[in-house]
Amino acid sequence: MHRYRTHTCGALRAEDAGKEARISGWVHRKRDHGNLLFVDLRDQYGITQCVADTSSAVFKVLEAARPETVICVTGKVVPRSAETVNDKLPTGRIEVVAAAVEVLSEAAVLPMQVAGEQEYSEEMRLTYRFLDLRREKMQANILLRSKVIASIRQRMWNAGFVEFQTPILTASSPEGARDFLVPSRLHPGKFYALPQAPQQFKQLLMTSGFDRYFQIAPCFRDEDSRADRSPGEFYQLDFEMAFATQDDVFDAITPVLAGIFQEFGNGRPVTTAPFPRITYADAMLKYGSDKPDLRNPLLVSDVTEAFRGSSFGLFAKNIDKGGIVRAIPAPKSADNPRSFFDKLNDWARENGAGGLGYIQYKDGEARGPIAKNLDATRVAQIKAATGANDGDSVFFVCDQPDVAAKFSGLVRTKLCDELNLLDRNKFMFCWIVDFPMFERNKDTGLIEFSHNPFSMPQGGMDALLNQDPLTIKAYQYDIVCNGVELSSGAIRNHRPDIMYKAFEIAGYKNEDVEARFGGMLNAFKYGAPPHGGSAPGIDRIVMLLADEPNIREVILFPMTGRAEDLLMQAPNSVSEKQLRELYIKLNLPKEAGSKAEVKTN
RNA sequence: GGGGGUGUAGUUCAGUUGGUUAGAACGUCGCCCUGUCACGGCGAAGGUCGCGGGUUCGAGUCCCGUCGCUCCCGCCA
């Protein structure tokens, strides 16, 4: 008989009755009847009921074992009588009569319970993550994550991609997010950086003659956290393709994502390939966001012209100053009491808007403070533009174009919530395409890259030379699912001449470009294939599939919002010796002095 | 860096207009119980109400400051 087990805790069935079995696991729950004792023994695979009564030599050992004690139970598998069968457990038709029990590891009194549905604070859960991870939900999430990654690898491999590992210690990149730095011992005063993404490496791989690369790649960014953004590190399905157009990239990755969501989505409907494509400009107009949730049926429309020069002075004046008006429909809401509209107006003010105007289309006429100031033609114009019917109302956002577009997106989401219009039970994908290559910095007035400086401008060199930079689009695209940005990608700029020119428009001299991106630029001078790719976020994919609102629910050992690992106590101070080896002298802010004090050993 | 929420027993929470000894559930410990599966019953221990200051005869409750956790904005090419 095996030292620890002949079966897992999820394995035994009615047909095993009569066998001698040995199982090991954690004491999940105990039901102590005084002279009869049940122990639910748990491992990754399931739960098996063990039983003993006072006639057993091991009764006292089991009785003394606290929950989460690790024990090994040996005994006979017996069928349960019809009244005592538990249909909730796959092992519920049998139980193990404990003949021998070995305590493999005692458990102290628990700071948080593993059994049960009790909710615990994040702080508690992260401090005792090893207990938290034993719980049913976390076991399921983490196992799902593993299966998703295995399936992704298989699907990528089947599509002709090969997996490589790129360096973790690399150079700081001057663009983008804040880097995590690692001091160099051999080169005093110099630093490695952890990669924000394997971006330059994968482009170098294409230049090195590899045709289709992917990697489940760790990425490191020293930026603040959000519910869907873990601080510090995260994983991407990083991939890149040589001799590929934007369509090729879409065709390669769409079936992988659709397949994953079909495989692990528990039957929830998934957008079928090809995913709809929405231009950036269209997304900002119709959804007020570059990551629209297509489950939300509401569409924003522009009604600036209906208000231009109207006697609704507030909007008319704003329009004369360059403002625009966006309309968001609220189906079947016209009969709501005044408080419904007031509440939304208050919400808008709390969120930084001047207010939230509205028209109610009711009993064949338009009502509300705005409608009183508009003539019939304008009211009808708005009704037509928004597709509103009698019984609907329409809300208005009036501001400068950027602000109005963005806020209309918030209103769209808010109204969807209020009217309960979201079908949560499906996965709706889309591509956002044609991102602008450049934008004007509002503070400095200067032109800068709006997203990725390495993207190929649409129209290539000709566009850079002859087009207003602010009208140039890039071959840059995002995949969005249910309002979550899963990835961004691009057809890259593999031509040094075009790259110099693009950087010149953004205000960089050739020397600057060479100093900052010399490695990759140099590689491109010796024959680089046109190439492109993307990098869907693994954590976010699993988060959507697990239906979790927070990314930490699908990460084994996440850090807190302030980027601390409560379990490992990272970050932590280091010894003087370590600092000396790295030629580092600390220059700490005064108030942090006590917290960041250096260990003296 | 800014804004919102929150902090009371080991844990999850309740705690009224400021008023006597700060409660419940789960857990822990003890006793009883031979068919439970969220077992049941009886009992006990367990609290500097995050921390510091203030107002008051009196503060878990009101005020100021501060710290932690969390959500959002900024940030995330």
Q: A438-482 pLDDT, tens per residue? A: 988 877 788 888 888 889 999 999 999 999 999 999 999 999 999
pLDDT at A590: 59
What are the residue ranges of helices labelled H in A419-495? Answer: 460-466
* 8 A C-beta contact, residue A328 and residue A395: yes
Question: What's the pLDDT at A231?
Answer: 87
Beta bridge partners of A476: A490
Minimal CA–CA distance to A429: which of A587, A515, A544, A554?
Answer: A544
> Burial, A356: exposed, middle or buried (Cβ in 10 Å; 0-12, 13-18, 19+)?
buried
Predicted local distance difference test score (pLDDT) of residue A172? 84
Q: Would you say residue A389 has pLDDT above 80?
A: yes
The continuous run of DSSP H or E covering A237 comes out as: strand A232-242
Which range among A16-25, A516-525, A563-572 has the greatest average pLDDT? Answer: A16-25
Most confident range (mean pLDDT) of A12-26, A169-183, A415-429, A435-449 is: A12-26
Closest nt by CA–C1' to A68:
B27
Task: Give CA A176 to chain center in angstroms.
Answer: 19
Task: Give yes or no for CB of A442 within 7 Å of strand B.
Answer: no
**What element of type H or E holds A562?**
none
| % of residues, chain A, pLDDT over 70 | 98
- Assess whether pLDDT exceeds 70 at residue A134: yes
Report CA(A35)–C1'(B3) in Å, whole number.
59
Which residues numbered 53-112 in chain A sit less than 7 A from strand B, measured from CB?
53-55, 66-67, 80-81, 83-86, 88-89, 92, 95, 109-112
pLDDT of residue A567: 85
What whole-number distance in Å separates Cα of residue A263 and Cα of residue A148?
9
Confidence bin at A21 (pLDDT 50/70/90): very high
Q: A346 pLDDT exceeds 90? A: no
Three-state SS string over A356-415 comes to CEEEEEECCEEECHHHHCCCHHHHHHHHHHHCCCCCCEEEEEEECHHHHHHHHHHHHHHH
CA neighbor of A498 nearest in space, from A472, A519, A478, A479:
A472
pLDDT in tens, A556-600: 999 988 888 888 888 888 999 999 999 999 887 754 433 333 333
CA/C1' separation A123–B68 (Å): 9
Rounded CA-CA distance A233/A194 in Å is 10
DSSP character at residue A177:
S
Beta bridge pairs of residue A491:
A532
pTM (predicted TM-score): 0.93
A596 touches strand B (CB under 7 A): no
CA-CA distance, A211 to A531, in Å (whole number)?
A: 9
Beta carbon of A215 within 7 Å of strand B? no
Rounded to an integer, what distance in angstroms lies between the CA atom of residue A454 and that of residue A30? Answer: 61
Covered bases, chain B (protein CB within 7 Å): 1, 10-13, 26-29, 32-40, 67-77
Strand B–CB A453 distance below 7 A: yes
The pLDDT mean for chain A works out to: 92
| Smallest CA–C1' distance to B1, residue | A224
Interatomic separation, CA of residue A73 and C1' of nucleotide B46, rounded (Å): 34
Do the strands A212-221 and A162-163 form a parallel or antiparallel pair, or are they unpaired?
A: parallel
Summarize pLDDT for A261-311 with one digit per residue, the tens: 999 999 999 999 999 999 999 999 999 999 999 999 999 999 999 999 998
Burial of A359 (0-12, 13-18, 19+ CB in 10 A): buried
* Residues 6 or more apart whose Cβ sits within 8 Å of residue A162: A210, A212, A213, A214
Q: Taking a C-beta distance cutoff of 8 angstroms, is the pair A162, A212 a contact?
A: yes
What pLDDT does A582 receive?
A: 96
User: What is the rounded distance in angstroms from the CA atom of residue A509 to the CA atom of residue A416?
Assistant: 48
Q: In the predicted model, what is the mean pLDDT of residues A310-324?
A: 91
> Nearest nucleotide, C1' to the C-alpha of A222?
B76
Which runs of consecutive H residues, i.e. helices, occur in A308-362? 313-320, 338-350
The top-scoring range by mean pLDDT among A95-99, A126-130, A196-200 is: A95-99
Secondary-structure percent of chain A, ordered helix, strand, coil, rounded to 5: 30, 25, 40
The pLDDT value given to residue A281: 94
pLDDT confidence bin for A137, thresholds 50/70/90:
very high
Residue A7: what residue type?
Answer: H
Mean pLDDT confidence for A341-363: 85
User: Cα–Cα distance between A196 and A13 in angstroms, integer?
Assistant: 49
CA Rg value for chain A: 30
Q: Return the higher-pLDDT residue of A558 and A601.
A: A558
